[in-house]
A = this chain, B = another copy of it.
Amino acid sequence: MSEAEEQRDGRQSLAHRVPDLAALELLLAVARLGSLGAAAREVGVTQPAASSRLRSMERQLGVALVDRSPRGSRLTDAGALVTDWARRVVEAAAAFDAGARALRDRRDSRLRVAASMTIAEYLLPGWLLALHAERPDTAVSLLAGNSAKVAELLLTGEADLGFVEGLNVPTGLDSTVIARDRLIVVTAPGHPWARRRRPLTAQELAGTPLILRERGSGTRQVLDAALGGLARPLIELSSTTAVKASAVSGAGPSVLSELAVGEELAMRRLVSIPVEGVSLRRDLRAVWPTGHRPTGPARELLSLTRG
């Protein structure tokens, strides 16, 4: 997106076109409580501030969001839609906060969690959010690394609870399966594979260069094992995001966790290619040093991950 194009659009980055988080939270409160004043009280400002904030949000969006009446305020149709989109933004922000909070409390924490990248990115923020809702006083810290790193942190006592996504549990650790993940083959919608009628065979997959995470990543391990160590890299990238971006741009097929590509599949930026004869399921496990059954906050978090 060039500057020239920004000029032409008359826009200056999202931040100027999307209301800030405080305003979005206010909108959600109004939707829930049905009154500007009540919403103002909930978010901790005065009623005029809320009134003005809401008004400027409507001006910014160019759409009326709430019908004000002398006995309360209700969302307009457009307001209901906007509120749903706002809720997503606020949820993402809450997940951000849960993660950041855990990161911040590194030093003086009582529950120290070590997790592999995919879990830290896609699942942990949500769990931490739930944990915080139930035990608001728990200070959590978060360290991310591959399976070996997680094992090391647990065994040296630098972490209380770990989450790994590999096939085998590192020695010295006990574990329990908390969820199952599936690796799926994805391509951009224009790729020839997207038009296949029959599932891909293991041989075809093994014979095709793929966009992959680097060796040593949990994802790569599972794939190598499933194919018998044969996965051929077309490109090797060091983050899931980079792999996704390459795949979306049509650079080639990739194999990724279904956790990571939900959004892309829904929006059809990527399509999932069925495969037969290969088991790409993998267990996501919570791990802890053998014998040291999780207790206290660790046990609490563990129970949340299993529902």
Interface residues, chain A, with chain B CB atoms under 8 Å away? 3, 5-6, 8-9, 12-15, 17-18, 20-22, 25, 43-44, 61-63, 77-78, 80-82, 84-97, 99-101, 103-104, 106, 120-123, 125-127, 130, 136, 142, 144, 178-179, 188-190, 194, 239, 241, 259, 262-263, 266-269, 271, 304-307
Contacts and interface: CB of A to CB of B under 8 A. Distances in A.
A271 to B, nearest CB: 6
Contacts of A44: 3, 6, 12-13
This chain's copy number in the assembly? 2
A258 to B, nearest CB: 9
A253 B97 CA distance: 30
Contacts of A269: 126, 130, 307
Given A25-B13, A127-B267, A307 B194 contact: yes
A190 B25 CA distance: 30
Interface centre among A5, A103, A190, by most chain B C-beta atoms within 10 angstroms, is: A103
B13 A43 contact: yes
A120 B259 CA distance: 23
Contacts of A86: 96
Contacts of A189: 306-307
Contacts of A144: 77, 81
A91 B266 CA distance: 14
A188 B130 CA distance: 14
Given A63-B103, A100-B61, A136 B85 contact: no
Given A21-B18, A77-B144, A93-B14, A100 B125 contact: no
A246 to B, nearest CB: 14
A85 B89 contact: no
Contacts of A190: 307
B267 A17 contact: no
B14 A61 contact: no
A85 B96 contact: yes
B85 A99 contact: yes
B120 A81 contact: yes
A184 B161 CA distance: 32
A127 B188 CA distance: 15
Contact of A136 (B9, B239, B305): B9
A116 to B, nearest CB: 12
B18 A93 contact: yes
Nearest to A9: B136
A90 B267 contact: no
A61 B104 contact: yes
Given A13-B44, A63-B100, A268 B85 contact: no
B61 A17 contact: no
A100 B85 contact: yes
